[in-house]
Amino acid sequence: MIIRPDAVLLDSGEIVPGVEVCILEGTIDRIRPWTKAAREESGLLLSCAFVNAHSHLEYYDLIGQVEADDYWAWIQEIVRLKPLRPMHQVAEAAELAAHANRATGVSAIGEHSDWPVSGDAIRDAGLGGRIFQEVITMREWADPEEKVARVAEAATINAKSSGLPVHLAPHTPFTVHPDALRAIFQSGSPTSIHVAESRYEREFFERGEGPIAGLYRQLGVPIEPPGISPVAYIAALGGLTESTQLVHACDLDEEDVWRIGSARCKIAHCPRSNVALGCPPAPIRELQSAGATVGLGMDSAASSGPIDMFAEMRAAVHVAEGRGDVLGAESVWRMATTDAAISIFSERRWEMIEGGQPDLMLMDTERWTRLPEIIANCAPRSVMRVINVAKREEPASQPAP
């Protein structure tokens, strides 16, 4: 396969005109000047495809239905609505969300799944990546093993339907029994966990206070605060490793950042969701400097809104600015592509270089020729085609209504 766009966007952020990309057996074999004038990709820019580092496809039907600007209020409403939805509705939502991801240039995804339906949706949309099957044991605190076994059954279904690796993933450090947390962390398998999304976690783990403590009392779960931060608690259970993806990681102190970076953990940064739920702005530059790899995730449409990776990149820039940081266009694009692939433990070298193995996307960037302009002005409609170099080539999906 040879692709001859007007220009190619390299991982450095440089846009190089007049070159073609030669694909051989799923790998970029050559990047060289055009070898002929006739080109099917005239007027288009070629880039690595996006990778969505964190997603909840199964909540797509709840977009615009949960009105809350506070994390805990939002969680309570989601918990109320979840059991009211029949399985076929959840499956249809996941299907729409998967195709909307494809339409915004996403080719691989790190999906947090509650039900055994996301695998079908991911396969049908032509997405790659991996699935993290969520474990929650709040209502099974006295016997978490039984719940973990049921989650493992759902993981098996998603693995068979998607053909992707599926791993057990604790929902949060406060919704999973410590014995189950320890067992998942010590399994050695890649995993993913929401952590430090709000200030309420620190209140609970350090002092046994706040709404999380109230939930424990309501369910009759013993409150035994360890007196340390949520990140330190995960570390104590063996959960800070290169095989752990931490989702959100907003409410961090300097010691938390040091722990995460020293362990070379992966991060899924979801800025639109965090802003919508009033979460503290995540210290992304500090995490990157400490050694963590940060990928961009779009979370669920119920909190982030329309599935749009360009909007997510713009939000990442604005959140960093709110902290007084500068997050350059090159860094943000890498967070949506190469670093996001690393964040979901992709075994492929997701880079636009000879020897790279990324999926690709062709964009019509209209008059925008610089990367900051592309991020500021483009949208899912700018994505003309997503190319699975290791599988098949097909048109990008149309955005879900």
* pTM reported for the whole predicted model: 0.95
Helices (H) and strands (E) in the chain, counts: 16, 17
End-to-end distance of the chain based on CA atoms, in angstroms?
Answer: 33
Mean pLDDT of 11-25: 94
Spans of all domains in the chain: 2-47+352-395, 50-343
Q: Fold identical between 2-47+352-395 and 50-343?
A: no
Tell me the pLDDT tens digit for each residue of 171-205: 999 999 999 999 999 999 999 999 999 999 999 99
C-alpha angle 190-193-198 in degrees, rounded to nearest 5: 160
Pick the CATH number of 50-343 from 3.20.20.140, 2.40.50.1070, 3.30.1490.20, 1.10.3260.10: 3.20.20.140
Architecture of the domain delimited by 2-47+352-395: Roll (2.30)
Mean pLDDT of 219-226: 96
Local confidence band at 391 (pLDDT 50, 70, 90 cut-offs): low
Name the E strands within 258-363: 266-269, 293-296, 360-363
Q: Report helix, strand or coil for 319.
A: helix
Tell me the pLDDT tens digit for each residue of 126-154: 999 999 999 999 999 989 999 999 999 99
Beta carbons within 8 Å of 37's beta carbon, 6+ residues apart: none
What whole-number distance in Å separates Cα of residue 203 and Cα of residue 58? 30
Local confidence band at 392 (pLDDT 50, 70, 90 cut-offs): very low
Local confidence band at 366 (pLDDT 50, 70, 90 cut-offs): confident
Q: Is the pLDDT of residue 116 over 90?
A: yes
Phi, psi of 397 (to 5 degrees): -65, 155
What whole-number distance in Å separates Cα of residue 295 and Cα of residue 356? 18
Q: What does the longest C-alpha to C-alpha distance in the chain come to? A: 72
